[in-house]
Chains A and B, each alone.
Chain A
Amino acid sequence: MADLLEVRDLAVHFQLGGGLFRLGHARTLRAVEGVDLTVKAGQCLGLVGESGCGKSTLGLAILGLQPPTRGRIILDGMEVNADTDRSRFAKTAQMVFQDPYASLNPRQTVRGTLATPLRLNGTTNAGEINDRVADMLARVGLRPEHANRYPHEFSGGQRQRIGIARALILRPKLVICDEPVSALDMSIRAQIINLLLELKESLGLAYIMISHDLSVVEHMSDHVAVMYLGRIVETGPWRDIFERPRHPYTRALIAAIPDPFAPADRRFRRVNGEIPSPLDPPKGCAFHPRCPITIDKCRSAPGPALTQSGGAHHVSCWRAGDACDQVWPALGGSRTLSSHEPLLGPTSRKPSN
C-alpha cells in the first residue's frame, strides 16, 4: 500500500522567555525533535505518550496548524508548508478533538457546522448539501432531524459524533483523532470506539490516534509509535509493541494500566519519577533518570537512533540489543500495580496516642 503520510525528521521548537525586549534568558522548548513517521492508506497509527511528550504538537504540525522548525511532511503527494493549498489539504486531512463541549460552535446548528466546509469547498447546491449532511449524520448514528439542533441539546457522546461528522464531511483520507474518547463517560466510550472502527472500514480512512490510553490504542491501531519528550522511542506493528515491547518506557506504560485481569506475562516493572521538563531535558537518553536498566552509556551518550528490532519494529534504547527478557526478570520485573491483591480484610488500627 502507498504511504498516505510521510513525516521526515520533523522538529517543532518553541522559543520561550526573553521577557521584555528579549533581555532575559531565552530558552528553546523542543516539543518535537527528529520524528519520522509513515501512515499507510486505510491504516490506524496509534501515537502514545504522556502529557508534554509532544504528541498533540506533532498532530497539529501534520495538519499544517503548527509551522515546523525543520523537516518535511508529505501528505498524499503534497508537501505541507505555508504554501499548501488549504482547500485541497482540507479535503485530505481532518481532525477530531478531545473535548466535544469546547470544539463545536454553540451558536451554529449541526447543519451549519456540517454545511460550512462543503460550501467553502465548492458545493453550493442546497439540495446536494442537505443530502450530504443527512448522509453523514446517518453514518455517525444521528437522525436527520438532529441537523436543526444546537450543540447544547446533545449529550457528550452525541457531540463527539457531530465532531466526527464534521471531520468526515469532506471525505478526507486521513483523520487525526486527538484523545477522542477520554472526555467521554465510560459507558459511552465503547460506542465511539466502535463508530470510529466502522467508519474506518466503510470509508477506507486512515487514522492517527493520539492517546495516553494504551488499551484503546491496542484495540484500534495497526501500527503504534511511543513518544517520550518529543522523540519516538519505539514504533512497530501493534502486536510487537504490546506483546514484545522492548523500550523500558513502553513497558512502564503497559505496566501502569490498572487491569485486575492483566495476563501475567504483561506485568512489567513500573518506573519511578516523573517526566522531566521538556525545557530542560536530561543529558544522555531522555528516559535514563527513570529507567530501571540504565548503564553508563545511557547517562553520557544521547539516546540512539531508532534501530530495527525485527521486521518493522524499531526501538531507541542502548540496551535493546541485550536480551531484554533476560534483563527484566533479574530486576524483579513482574512486580506491578496489578500483581497486588487488594488489601484484605479490615486491619486493626493502632491505638492513637
Chain B
Amino acid sequence: MTTAPLLQVDDLRLDLASGGAAHAAVEKVSFDIARGETFGLVGESGCGKSIIALAIMGLLRPPLSIGAGCIRLDGCEVHNLGQSELRRLRGKEMAMIFQEPMTALNPLSPVGRQIAEMYVLHEGTSFKEGERRAVEALASVKVPAPDRRARDYPHHLSGGMRQRVMIAIALACSPQLLIADEPTTALDVTVQAEIIELMRELCAAKGTAILMISHDLGLVANMCRRIGVMYAGRMVELRRSGDVFKTPSHPYTRGLVASLPRLGTRAAQGQIRLQEISGVVPTITTFPPGCRFHPRCNSATDICSVIDPTSTTLEGGGFVRCHHHG
C-alpha cells in the first residue's frame, strides 16, 4: 500500500469567464484526502465548494475552467486527461452523488438498468449479468424488495429511495473516491440521518474515501474526519472536525460555530441573542481585496484589507488563513 494521498488538490484556481474578463471563483485551494478518509468541504452558497467537486470529476464546462494548479487522483493528473480517459475514470475510480436525485437519474430508464450500466461500461459484463448485480446493489443500500424495485422508474420512488439508488450507482464499481455534493439537503431530517449512516457504513466497508460537500457544519462534523472551511473562493481553515467545533481558529469559522442555534443552549442559558456575523456574503464580482472576510470581521486591522493572508500551520495539524488567528 502506498502512503501517498489518494487525492491531491494543489493550489487550484478555477476561473469564471464573463464578458471578456476572468474572475477567480476559487483560488489558492490545496488539500489532500487519504485512502478511506472522510473529508468535508463546508461553505455558503457561492463559496466555490461545488465547482471544486466538478473540477475533480472533470465535469467543469465553460464559462468555468481550471485556471491553475493540479488535481491528482491516485497519481493520475486528472486535469490533464482527455474526455475518454475521464469517462473511464468516472464511475470506476471516482463517483459522485448529487443533491437532487430526481434530476440526476434518467427518468426514462428503470433504476435497475441504470445501476447495471455501471457494470456493463466498467467491467464489461452483459446487461443480464449487470441487472442481476444491480439487484444485489439495491439490497446493499437497504432498498426493500430490491428485485421488484429494480424494475421501477425513478418517479415511482420517494426522495430517500432515489438517493439510495444514486448511492448504489456511485458505489457499484467500488470507487476509491466518492464525492457527495449536498447529498441530503433535499431530504427530510429523519431520512437524512439514515442516508448519512448508510453512506458511512458502505464506504467504511469498501474502503472508499468520501469528499462530502455541504453547508451544514454540524452534519459534516459528524460525518468527516477533517473539514475544510471555504469562504468566498478561498479555503480559510482546514482542521480535524472535532477541532473545528471546539477551537475554531478563523474568525469566520468562529462566527459560524457561535451563530448556530443548538439544542440545549436555551435550557442552559435562556433565550439569548445568537451571535451574528454582520454584513452579507460577497458574490464573485464583489470579492474584496486582501482577506476576503475582512469587511465582516470583528478583529480586522489595516493589513487585512490590503494583504491576503497566507496559510499558517496549526499545532494540532491543519492550517488557518488569517493574519490574526488565535
Contact = CB atoms under 8 A, between A and B. Distances in A.
Q: Do A and B come from one complex?
A: yes
Interface stretch (B13-21, B80-88, B125-133, B222-230): B222-230
B307 interface: no
B282 to A, nearest CB: 9
A255 B190 CA distance: 8
Contacts of A271: 190
A263 interface: yes
A257 B218 contact: yes
Given A219-B265, A254-B263, A270 B276 contact: no
Contacts of A157: 280
A346 B3 CA distance: 10
Nearest to B196: A337
A274 B190 CA distance: 8
A256 B264 CA distance: 15
Among B192, B204, B263, B275, find the residue whose CB has the most chain A CB atoms closer than 10 A: B263
B65 interface: no
B275 A257 contact: no
Interface stretch (B55-63, B107-115, B254-262, B308-316): B254-262
Interface string B44-64: 110000000000000000000
Interface stretch (A7-15, A64-72, A182-190): A182-190
B225 A343 contact: yes
Interface string B253-289: 0011001111111110001011111101100000000
Size bracket of the B interface: 35 or more
B273 A349 contact: no
B91 to A, nearest CB: 14
Interface string A211-224: 01111101110000
A199 to B, nearest CB: 13
Contact of A193 (B217, B225, B261): B261
A350 B189 CA distance: 33
Contact of A260 (B174, B221, B267): B221
A108 interface: no
A191 interface: yes
Given A187-B44, A194-B273, A216-B261, A258 B207 contact: no
B218 A259 contact: yes
Contacts of A212: 188-189
A258 B259 contact: no
Interface string A234-265: 00001100110000000011111111111100
A51 interface: yes
A343 B201 CA distance: 10
Contacts of A51: 188
B216 interface: yes
Nearest to B47: A185
B200 interface: yes
A347 interface: yes
Given A348-B35, A349-B207, A261 B193 contact: no
Contacts of B274: 190, 193-194, 219
A348 B281 contact: no
A125 interface: no
Given A186-B259, A197-B271, A350 B206 contact: yes
Interface residues of A, number: 60
B262 A259 contact: yes
Given A242-B267, A347-B204, A215 B262 contact: yes
A36 interface: no
Contacts of A219: 261, 265-266, 271, 274
A188 B281 contact: yes
A50 interface: yes
A134 interface: no
A46 B255 CA distance: 26
A342 B199 CA distance: 13
Given A219-B271, A343-B38, A260 B242 contact: yes
B38 A218 contact: no
B260 A215 contact: yes
Contacts of A256: 189-190, 192-193
A338 interface: yes
B183 to A, nearest CB: 13
Given A256-B192, A275-B188, A239 B267 contact: yes
17 contacts: A186-B215, A186-B217, A187-B277, A187-B296, A190-B277, A191-B277, A197-B273, A218-B261, A242-B263, A256-B193, A274-B188, A275-B188, A343-B225, A347-B35, A347-B204, A349-B35, A349-B36
Interface of A: 50-51, 155, 157-158, 185-191, 193-194, 197, 212-216, 218-220, 238-239, 242-243, 252-263, 266, 270-272, 274-275, 290, 336-338, 340, 342-350, 352
Given A259-B262, A349-B35, 11 more contacts: A186-B260, A214-B189, A238-B266, A242-B264, A253-B189, A258-B218, A259-B218, A260-B218, A262-B264, A272-B194, A348-B36
